[in-house]
Structure formats: structure tokens, C-alpha cells
């Protein structure tokens, strides 16, 4: 199986654009998911969190106005509630997230800094 890549991308974000460009420099044409227009569902977010080996809060942009407005800063919220909050408010999802899938399975990184994506490239 040839490796496939997916980038959860925000074209308005410089780090997201730089990460996409870095992939393309390595002759990788990823599937681009503009997550603000096509937010991942709860199952997809749970898979991303598992691949990244982080908690929901670690994938959140805590300085976004939507973070406080949706009360995602409430430390009593469960992981499921935080994931639901990201589905409802995709602007709070850290970006970009790049996933590589191949015969060995799947791996993911957050492209901050963009060079993090190099860990996924052979």
C-alpha cells in the first residue's frame, strides 16, 4: 500500500499553508480537508486524538473567542464534551493536522511548526 496523506487545512493560516507547501515539496499530494467548511465529526476527531496521542484540550486553540464563548474552558467538561465542542466550533481545532496512512497503519502530527510533518515522510 502506498502511503496516503490527509491535511486538515485552513488556507487562511500561514502555518497550514507552509505545511501543505512542505508536503508538496516532497512530491506528496495530500487530500486537503478544509476543516472550517467540512468539520470532522466526533469519531474522526477521536481518531485524530488517538493518533496524535493527546487529549482534546491539547488540540484546541484556547485563545479563540469561540473557546470561551462555548465554555470549552470549563475544566469539568469530559473528553466527549470537548470533542463535541470542537465539532460545533471547528475554529478552535489546532491546525494543521496531517495524517499518513500506509500498510503499517496511521500516524499523525500537528504541523506547528510545519517541519513536524517531516516525521511522517520516508
Residues with active-site annotation: 13
Label residues 52-91 b or e (16+ Cβ within 10 Å = b): beeebeebbeeeeebbeebebeeeebeeeebbbbbbebbb
C-alpha angle 46/78/58, rounded to 5°?
A: 55
Amino acid at each position: 500500500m502506498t502511503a496516503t496523506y490527509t491535511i486538515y487545512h485552513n488556507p487562511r493560516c500561514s502555518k497550514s499553508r507552509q505545511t501543505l507547501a512542505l508536503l508538496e515539496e516532497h512530491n506528496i499530494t495530500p487530500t486537503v480537508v478544509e476543516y472550517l467548511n467540512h468539520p470532522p465529526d466526533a469519531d474522526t476527531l477521536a481518531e485524530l486524538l488517538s493518533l496524535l496521542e493527546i487529549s482534546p484540550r491539547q488540540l484546541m486553540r484556547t485563545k479563540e473567542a469561540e473557546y470561551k464563548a462555548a465554555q470549552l474552558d470549563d475544566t469539568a467538561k469530559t473528553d466527549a464534551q470537548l470533542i463535541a465542542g470542537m465539532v460545533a466550533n471547528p475554529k478552535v481545532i489546532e491546525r494543521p493536522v496531517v495524517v499518513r496512512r500506509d500498510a503499517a497503519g496511521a500516524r499523525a502530527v500537528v504541523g506547528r511548526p510545519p517541519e513536524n510533518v517531516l516525521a511522517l515522510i520516508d
